[in-house]
Every structure is written in structure tokens, then in C-alpha cells.
Chain A
Amino acid sequence: GENVEQHPSTLSVQEGDSAVIKCTYSDSASNYFPWYKQELGKGPQLIIDIRSNVGEKKDQRIAVTLNKTAKHFSLHITETQPEDSAVYFCASYNFNKFYFGSGTKLNVKP
């Protein structure tokens, strides 16, 4: 079955710096890769996603890149702000199931 690994487990950056979180997956049939942000006491919220026929997608300060050959995808946050502090999860999707990474706790220091 699919296996999603996410790194790093914790990430601390200074406000204004960039943050990058990486995920690898094992099943080449996976075709959809969302990223979720979970703030304290709340459920995960979808922040950006990418499908397997696209290499990169941007939405303001966040972007996701996908390398199908290497089976990895990354979340990039530029100009980080304190409100970006949260736990971020990646996921892969195939055969009607999601497989989640173990999460990255991002701390943006003011």
C-alpha cells in the first residue's frame, strides 16, 4: 500500500523567511496531493492541492511542487508570518483513499 513520509517533523523560522516541507510517496498510482493546515484546537483545512498532471501550483505566498518521477512533493511558504504557525499535513490520494503524512509543526518567530 501507499506510504507517505513527511519531513521535517518540526520547523522553526524567523518571520519573513521561507519554509519548505517535503513529502515522499511510494505508489505511482497516486494522483492528487493536498496540503492541510491545522491550527490549535481546529480541524485540518485544505490550503493548496496539486494533481499529477501539473508540476507546480501557486496561491499567493504558498506553492506546491510535484516531482512524479522522484515521487515527492513539497510545500513552500514565502514571507512567513506568525499566523502561519500551525501543523501542516501532506496527503496522497489513490483508489478513493487518502494517505497522510505525520505532520510538520511550523513555528514562525516574530
Chain B
Amino acid sequence: DVKVTQSSRYLVKRTGEKVFLECVQDMDHENMFWYRQDPGLGLRLIYFSYDVKMKEKGDIPEGYSVSREKKERFSLILESASTNQTSMYLCASSFEDPGYTFGSGTRLTVV
């Protein structure tokens, strides 16, 4: 089974901190994605990547950046965390066919 591992289940950070959320997949998938999940809003795409060094903005990229230096790792960066970025963050990966494998999520609280 494909595994998508998010390094932290729960994080608490202070406003203004730079925050790194890490995601690693173990099946050589080309495509990786970062979503945030908020009650009543569903899943919203932040950034995605179809290859190493490649990144594309999703629907809500403001306040975020990403890094994909290796195929298996896709990092989400909050440049200066704010309270409105308190959310559940989900990483996903896929191969050529659509059909995601999601990680377990990181619940980030910014205080």
C-alpha cells in the first residue's frame, strides 16, 4: 500500500513564526498536493506539484509556499503564520491516474 506520511499530527505555533509541514510518500508518485480542510468549506487546494522542482498554485496559495527538492518529499511553508491559518492540513499523492492517497493530516493551531 502507498503510504503518505505527514511528520506531525498536531502542531501549535505562534503568530509570525515560519512553519514547515512535511509530507513524504513512498511509492514514487509524480504528483503531490497540499490541501487545507475547514468545517463547512471542505478541502481547498493550496499548492500542487507534478515533478521535482515544479510547483503550481492552487485555489488559496496566499500566505503559503512549497518546496519539492526530492520526488518523495513535498513541504508546505507558512512564511509568517497567522491565526486564520489554523486548520487541518492534508497532503496527498497520486500517480498518472487520478485517485489520491491522503496522509493522516496535521492539525495546526496558530496562537
A residues neighboring B (CB under 8 Å): 6, 9, 32, 34, 36, 41-46, 49, 89, 93, 96-98, 100-103
Q: A8: shortest Cβ distance to chain B, in Å?
A: 13
Which residues of chain B are near A49, meaning CB under 8 Å? Answer: 99
Q: B37: shortest Cβ distance to chain A, in Å?
A: 9
B100 touches A42 (CB 8 A): no
A97 touches B45 (CB 8 A): yes
Known: A34-B98, A49-B99, A93-B98. A41 touches B42 (CB 8 A): no
Interface string of B85-104 (1 = CB under 8 A from A): 00000101000001111111
Q: B100: shortest Cβ distance to chain A, in Å?
A: 7
The residue on A at minimum CB distance from B10 is A41
B43 contacts the other chain (CB 8 A): yes
The one of B41, B45, B99 that contacts A34, using a Cβ cutoff of 8 Å: B99
A46 vs B4: C-alpha distance when bound (angstroms)? 14
A103 touches B42 (CB 8 A): yes
Which residues of chain A are near B103, meaning CB under 8 Å? Answer: 43
A100 touches B42 (CB 8 A): yes
Residue from A32, A98, A101, A102 with most neighbouring chain B CB atoms (10 Å): A98
The one of B40, B41, B90 that contacts A44, using a Cβ cutoff of 8 Å: B90
A19 vs B103: C-alpha distance when bound (angstroms)? 27
